[in-house]
Amino acid sequence: GIKGLERHYNKVLNQSKDGVLQGDRDVLSYISFDKNSIIRKRIDGATLNLNIPLKLQKNNETTLDVYKEKLGADEIIVSIMESKTGKILTMASSNRFNPEKIRKEDIGSLNVNAVEYQFEPGSVVKPLSIAIAMDKGLIKKNESFPAYNSGGGKGVYKIGRFNIKDDHAFSKSYLSLDDIVMYSSNIGTLQIAQRLTGPEFFEGMKRFGFTRKTGIDLPYEKKGVMPKVWQFSAGDKEKRDNVFKATVSFGQGMTATFIQLLKAYSIFNNDGQMITPRIVNYLTHDGNKYKPYEDKPEKIVSKETADAMKKMLIKTVTDGTGKSAKIDGLEIGGKTGTAQIARGGKYLKKYISSFFGFVNDDKGNSYTIGVTVINPISTGTHWYYYYASWSAVPVFKEIVQNLVKLNYLTPKEGIIPEKK
């Protein structure tokens, strides 16, 4: 309706023409057809043909209903996109409504939060900011980074009056690049980001899709906000640490939308190329079939950079914070992110948990998947549900299992995927 595909494609949907029968009439008022008569058939408006299969969409919506209740969340958003083509196979929310009978309590659910809701994404941004530095050759092979943990425990890194901490306790004094990604180190990530100049960091984040629309075929898409380039540049000449680079490198002090993150993560599963997500496959109009857009992949980082980060994201699932997403016989990678919800310039005791990643089988099926859980339980017996590893990751795993069940994915022969 007013907030969906019909609004975006309104012009072509309304390209209809009435039919015409015109000519001289006989005494009984019947038209006598001759060479001067006009006969023109009626042309209806265009028909939208979607990429979204109904059965897969319904299965995923059922999964979200179960987890919304279990996690006590305000909303859960999920999307599945073909990594190579940008085709959206699922875009689902736990907050749905009957379009034929919209109630007062449904009004908030009319917003398509996958494209309209802007939030601090947290640690899911780390692989993106690290990839910018990798692509510029600023990280040496097998390089280690100080953990600033005074010989053990959680690290603390000082930038001016700010103390930046790690959530994960490291027993070793130096971290490998794998450690930083797998165990989500803020301190490791910010040290890498400081190697970029302000303009390099700003342009890199912009290239990954932040502060610009993805181009998905939905109206009212938001762009998110980020500090200005000059804010990132303070201290460049003196080679001083910059707090804006630090916080944005691990997904704070900026906002993004769900669909921006989904599009960005497809880069690691598509040889460094980014393609626009699309819900509509093609239009039919007056008997003709056509696409209303051009698909031109955008090169963001080199294949070498994308492949190197892809391996680290796979390790994050096999050995790091995303372990509960693992399914035998499938190649799965991704990154967790947990961030506080900010409102009115203050952080609330409410959280947004996300897991963005990909899944591939050896038959060539390749998908980028995003899960965002808005305000899960963060108090009482199940206080730990606000961590992405306890909320977004289990949802991600079940979405992958739905793909297997409906034959969109085939686990490696001889290996039986774990059943829920």
DSSP result, 371-406: EEEES---SGGGGGGGSGGGTHHHHHHHHHHHHHHT
pLDDT value at residue 155: 86
Question: Two tokens at 171?
Answer: 């027993």
Question: Two tokens at 309?
Answer: 């980060």
pTM value is: 0.89
Does residue 58 sit in helix, strand or coil? Answer: helix
Yes or no: say if 42 and 19 are a contact pair by the CB < 8 Å rule.
yes
Helix and strand element counts for the chain (H, E): 13, 16
Burial of 100 (0-12, 13-18, 19+ CB in 10 A): exposed
DSSP 8-state symbol, 417: P
| pLDDT, tens digit (0-9, with 9 covering 90-100), for 321-337 | 999 999 999 999 999 99
Yes or no: say if 394 and 372 are a contact pair by the CB < 8 Å rule.
no
pLDDT value at residue 43: 47
Helix 126-135 and helix 303-318, axial crossing angle in degrees, nearest 10: 140
User: CA distances (Å), 146 to each of 150, 155, 169, 187, 189, in order?
Assistant: 10, 9, 13, 8, 11
Helix (H) or strand (E) holding 13: helix 10-13
The closest of 139, 148, 234 to 193, measured between CA atoms, is 139
In which residue ranges of the chain is pLDDT below 50? 43, 417, 420
pLDDT value at residue 345: 81
User: CA distances (Å), 231 to each of 43, 161, 197, 201, 304, in order?
Assistant: 55, 17, 11, 11, 30
End-to-end, the C-alpha distance of the chain in Å comes to 36
pLDDT value at residue 180: 97
User: CA distances (Å), 420 to each of 50, 67, 94, 215, 358, in order?
Assistant: 30, 13, 20, 36, 20
- Bridge partners, residue 351, by sequence: 340
